[in-house]
Structure 1
Amino acid sequence: MISFFRKIRQKLLTQNRVTRYIAYALGEIFLVTIGILIALQVNTWNEQRKDSNREKLIMQSLHSEFLGISDKLQSTIQHHEAILGTTKGLMKLFNEPESVLKNHNLDSLIEKMIDFRVYNPSQFVIDDLTSSGNLNLISSDTLRKLIFEWGTESQQKVETYNTLDDTSQLLLVPYIIENTSLKNIDRYGFLNWEEKSKFNSETHKLFLDLEFENHLDNYAWGIVNYLQSLNTLKNLTNKIISETSPNQLPEQ
């Protein structure tokens, strides 16, 4: 093709047809330019198609990951709602007569109350998106905003858990250790001791002490605060699942 154009140029020049040569040269430049533009457009279409395919895979991965997050998160919320319910039940027993207190298995209830758990969701897809910079491949502004909010609220969840853990480990549990038998309480937990403590321990007397009531009140506040963070994450999870559902996938 190049040889063909060269021969035409030479023929026009030898025939001293300068005007025709210039017109031909301009036409040749025009054709080359059009060819380059078409090639660039084709390349752009190919890149857009690749980005669209990558976005589709990202959306599918996010959808699958957040379905798993949703199940575990719901289980964690239910567990801590039960803990809050137990704590509120114990709060009603303060300063009740000894006969009333001894009708309850207080050791078992206390063990259930302090069985809070950390929630650390598996978020490999989100971590990979943020570290690789592929978050920009997501065309939905709404979804990108939700992912940013998820990161912020995840950090907030860590802080509320740490507050709860500090309240338990630095205030509530030390008080329990000093005033009753932890072994008797642990009989209903992971340790599952077969025998009670051989030391004289009267757990019901805790509920005649204002200090213990204050510790439980403080602990209940920590549980509520933690639940608020978990429920915020749950709402964000539901929105992300909706935004990444199959009918939201980008068209090819």
Structure 2
Amino acid sequence: MIKFFRKIRYNLMEQNKTRKYFKYAIGEIILVVVGILIALQINTWNQDIINTSNEQNYLVGLKNDLEKQINAFNGSVEFGNIIIDIGESTLEDFSLTGNLLQIDSINSKLSKMMYSLSYPNIETTFNELNTTGQLNLIKEKSLRSKIIKYYQNSESNKESVNGNLQNVFYNQIFPTIKSSVIIHPENFRFNSKKINKALIREKLNVEFESNLVKPDKEFEIVNAISMVIIVTNTNIKHIQNSLEEAELLLKDINKELNND
């Protein structure tokens, strides 16, 4: 094609048709420019198709992450409420008996209050979007803002939960309860036929019972139970805040996916 145009130019020059040559040259330039513009437009269309495909993939990834996180949030709230119920029933029994030893299954109840309520953190897709600078692929600005805001708030709630666990639960509550119970692996969902629970309890029971009736130890344990209830309830509220925001964001993402 280039040789063809070049041959025409040579023929015009040889025939001394200057005006026609310039007209042809201008036409050739316009043709080249139009070709370039068409090529650029095609590239733009292709890139738009790629970007749209990537946006859909990321939205689906965010949707899957949120669905998993919502399930985890619900599980954490349910688990936290179980811990609170155990703590409240233990305090209720203590208020009636005035003696920790008279509370049924006190060792098991105290052991279960050694469980902590962690924050479910599932943000694989958002981290990829953020670290690769691909957040702008989400074309809908309001949705993009909601996504960023959700994960910022989620991070804040996670820090609050982790702060409560580290500063209050593990530093203050956990040591008190740990030093007050006979720890059986089965109380922590680990069963072993090799462990003689009855023998261990028999050997340690005297120390266990004498420890619980000490006024100062009793005081510490009752306060620790109350703190378990307070910390767990506080962390549940942080998780519920994220849960509500996650459900709203999931609806917006589903709406965007269905529109496409």
Q: Deviations over 1:27-57 (max 9, x none)?
A: 2211111111111001100011011111112
Tell me what 1:234 maps to: 243
SS where residue 115 of structure 1 aligns? coil
CA distance in 1, matches of 2:8, 2:93: 105
Per the alignment, do residues 39 and 99 of structure 1 end up closer, same or farther by CA in structure 2, a change over 3 Å counting? Answer: closer
Q: Is the 8 A contact 2:111 2:187 kept in 1?
A: yes
Provide TM-score, normalisation by structure 2.
0.78
**Residue number in structure 1 paired with 2:162:** 161
Conserved in 2, the CA contact under 8 Å of 1:56 and 1:249? no
Match of 1:48 in 2: 48
- Post-superposition shift, 1:212? 4.2
Q: How do residues 45-124 of structure 1 correspond to structure 2 at under 5 angstroms?
A: 45-93=45-93, 95-98=95-98, 102=102, 104-124=104-124
Shift of 1:177: 5.0
The 8 Å contact of residues 143 and 243 in structure 1, kept in 2 or not, is answered as yes
Contact 1:93 1:207 in 2 (8 A): no
Partner residue in 2 for 1:173: 174
CA-atom RMSD, angstroms? 3.3
Structure 2: which amino acid aligns with 1:22?
Answer: F
Change (3 A) 1:135 1:250: farther
Counterpart contact for 2:66–2:250, Cα < 8 Å: yes
- Which residue of structure 2 lines up, in the alignment, with residue 183 of structure 1? 182
Name the TM-score, length of structure 1 as normaliser. 0.80
Q: Percent identity?
A: 22
Question: What is the identity, as a one-letter code, of the residue corresponding to 1:161?
Answer: N
Unaligned runs of at least 5 residues, structure 2: none
On the 8 A contact 1:80/1:223 being kept in 2, the answer is yes
CA deviation after TM superposition for structure 1 residue 121, in Å: 3.5
Q: Describe the SS at the equivalent of 1:43.
A: helix
One-letter amino acid of the counterpart of residue 26, structure 1: I
How many aligned residue pairs are there?
249
Alignment of 1:137 with 2:137, yes or no, is yes
| Structure 1: distance between partners of 2:53 and 2:218 | 65
Separation (CA, whole Å) in 2 of partners of 1:111 and 1:41: 68
1:194 and 2:197 are equivalent in the alignment: yes
Gaps of 5+ in 1: none
Distance change in 2, residues 1:14/1:66 (3 Å): same
| Higher helix proportion (structure 1 or 2) | 2
Q: CA deviation at 1:94?
A: 5.0
Query: How far 1:26 sits from its partner (Å)?
Result: 1.6
